[in-house]
Amino acid sequence: MTTRWRLAAPLSLSLSLAYVGFAGDASAQQYLIGASLGLSSGIEGGGAAGGLFRTRTRLRLGADLRVDEFPDDIFEFAAVAELEPKAGFGADARYARAAGEHFIVDAGLIGILAPASLYGACAGLDYRLPISKRTQILFGPEADFYFLGSDLPDGTVIWELRLQAGIRADL
Amino acid sequence: MAPSFGSCGSRQASVRTFERRRPRRRAAAALLALAAVVVVACGAAGDCLRFSDCDQGLTCAFGHCVLPPPPDGGSAEPDDDGGDAATTTTTVTDTGSPTVISPTTSDASTDAGTAVGTDTGTDASSD
């Protein structure tokens, strides 16, 4: 019995130290969260009628998440609201990657959920112009492609080319 | 033996600065062009890309907002010139009332232009 305790004590101590060390490493990893607000519009096409149209003006309220150990890998989530000439509501999720000091490229999935569904892919480029230590002005193009959904006539793929401007803040 | 570049350092720096400016100008020009197209681009009234582009009661077919097909199985395809579907319906109603169409005015365009007001008056007086 004594021998068992003699073996168990160092073992439990080493396990405890390992746990504390692991927990210490984990707590050093910090999540960095940002929030952004952007307004975008542009041109769209792809329908049977041909030609170009002005896209619906869209408001995007987003959040981005990254880990301080990998600051270039960014995950973005946003709610989007189409404001005019017709209203709509949806969301997008993107993976973004820092490409230089001020540029962010992103790609992901986007969906309009109401009043009818529209799903597709999106990709964009943001230029972040710092205006203070924690806030930046966003500006850049974005391309969206919609190929699924109840709002889409048969055999139609809608493409949109947008310009977005907005503001972002580190929380 | 490694090649010696002498004083190429400053020259490379100047070239790099020049190359960095040109893409920025091109990008700015592209963005301005896109902004100009956005301002100018405007589809014709009644054209659509999505169903929700059309007003209530209309549907998007072949790029135009049209009346939805009847339940018994009609076609929502618009006229050859993409004309207003409501006008088409009115014309059909006019030709369906034989009391309005006189033999001397059998031209379809004349019927469409004049029969609507006359139709209502004739029906009201006959009732």
A vs B: CB pairs below 8 A: 69
Residue B66 CB: number of other CB atoms within 10 A?
Answer: 25
- Residues whose CB is less than 8 angstroms from the CB of residue A119 and which lie 6 or more positions away in sequence, other chains included: A109, A110, A111, A112, A146, A147, A148, A149
Which residues in chain A are contacts of B60 at CB distance < 8 A? 47, 153
Q: DSSP assignment, residue A26?
A: H
- Asked which of A21-35, A51-65, A112-126, A133-147 is least confident by mean pLDDT, the reply is A21-35
Cα–Cα dist A123/A105, whole Å = 8
> What's the confidence (pLDDT) of residue B36?
62
pLDDT digits (tens, 9 = 90+) for B8-20: 434 444 445 555 5
Mark yes or no for CB contact A46/B47 under 8 Å.
no
> What's the confidence (pLDDT) of residue B119?
42
H or E segment to which residue B118 belongs: helix B108-126
- Asked which of A4-18, A100-114, A137-151, B101-115 is least confident by mean pLDDT, the reply is B101-115
As a whole number, the mean pLDDT across chain A is 87
Q: DSSP assignment, residue B47?
A: B
Query: Are the beta carbons of B115 and B101 closer than 8 angstroms?
Result: yes
Cα–Cα dist B7/A98, whole Å = 34
Cα–Cα dist A31/A52, whole Å = 42
Say how far residue B87 (Cα) sits from the centre of its chain. Answer: 18
pLDDT digits (tens, 9 = 90+) for A15-24: 554 554 445 4
Which residue would you say has higher pLDDT here, B41 or B124?
Answer: B41
Which residue would you say has higher pLDDT here, B86 or B69?
Answer: B69
Residue of chain B nearest A51, judged by CA positions = B43
pLDDT at residue B84 tops 50: no
Q: Complex ipTM, two decimals?
A: 0.74
Q: What angle do CA B85, B61, B69 make, to 5 degrees?
A: 60
Query: Are the beta carbons of B116 and B94 closer than 8 angstroms?
Result: yes
Please give the share of chain A, as a percent, with pLDDT higher than 70.
84
Which residues in chain B are contacts of A141 at CB distance < 8 A? 31, 34
Distances (CA, A) of A90 to A97, A105, B81: 23, 21, 35
Nearest to A48 among B35, B44, B62 (CB): B62
pLDDT at residue A148 tops 60: yes
**pLDDT mean over A43-66:** 90
**pLDDT mean over A93-102:** 93
> What's the confidence (pLDDT) of residue B47?
86
Tokens 């077919």 belong to: B61
Residue A167 CB: number of other CB atoms within 10 A?
Answer: 16
> What's the confidence (pLDDT) of residue A37?
97
- Please, what sign has the CA dihedral across residues B23, B24, B29, B33? positive
pLDDT at residue B71 tops 60: yes
pLDDT digits (tens, 9 = 90+) for B92-120: 333 333 333 333 333 443 343 333 333 44
Tokens 């319906």 belong to: B89
pLDDT at residue A139 tops 80: yes
pLDDT at residue B127 tops 80: no
pLDDT at residue A161 tops 90: yes
**pLDDT mean over B70-89:** 50
